[in-house]
């Protein structure tokens, strides 16, 4: 259990299992592949293979998706920003759907 605990980094929207720095998306994005800890500020857990999402993270992802929907529904919101925000909404909604599906299947 202790060996697992040293790899776990708890964040608001995911659990980061930082076992292999070469697979950490945050380190790749920052250009620091030799770091020994994840960079929480660079985390894109929806794309990182070492991140997991659980039911306790669902409110964060639902809130993000809801906020994106509000902006996209505004007619005066700039078209370029809508184009940029749409993939973010799709990513957040995908994570929400995956969390809900895993919960329904009895997994966590």
Above 60 in pLDDT, residue 108? no
What was the pLDDT predicted at 13? 93
Q: What is the mean pLDDT of residues 27-47?
A: 90
Give CA separation, 3 vs 6, 8, 9, 33, 101, in Å: 6, 9, 13, 22, 29
What was the pLDDT predicted at 33? 84
Three-state secondary structure call for residue 36: coil
What was the pLDDT predicted at 46? 93
Per-residue confidence at 74, pLDDT binned at 50, 70, 90?
A: very high
Per the prediction, the chain carries an average pLDDT of 91
CA distance 106 to 53: 14
What was the pLDDT predicted at 2? 74
Q: CB of 25 within 8 A of CB of 14?
A: no
Above 60 in pLDDT, residue 1? yes
- With tokens 């790749």, the residue in question is 28
């Amino acid at each position: 259990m202790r060996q697992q605990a040293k790899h776990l980094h708890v964040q608001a929207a995911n659990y980061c299992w930082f076992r292999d720095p070469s697979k950490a998306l945050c380190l790749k994005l920052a250009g620091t592949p030799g770091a020994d800890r994840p960079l929480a500020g660079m985390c894109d857990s929806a794309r990182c293979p070492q991140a997991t999402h659980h039911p306790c993270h669902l409110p964060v992802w639902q809130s993000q998706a809801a906020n994106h929907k509000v902006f996209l529904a505004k007619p005066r919101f700039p078209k370029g920003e809508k184009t940029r925000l749409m993939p973010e909404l799709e990513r957040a909604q995908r994570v929400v759907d995956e969390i809900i599906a895993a919960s329904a299947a009895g997994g966590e």
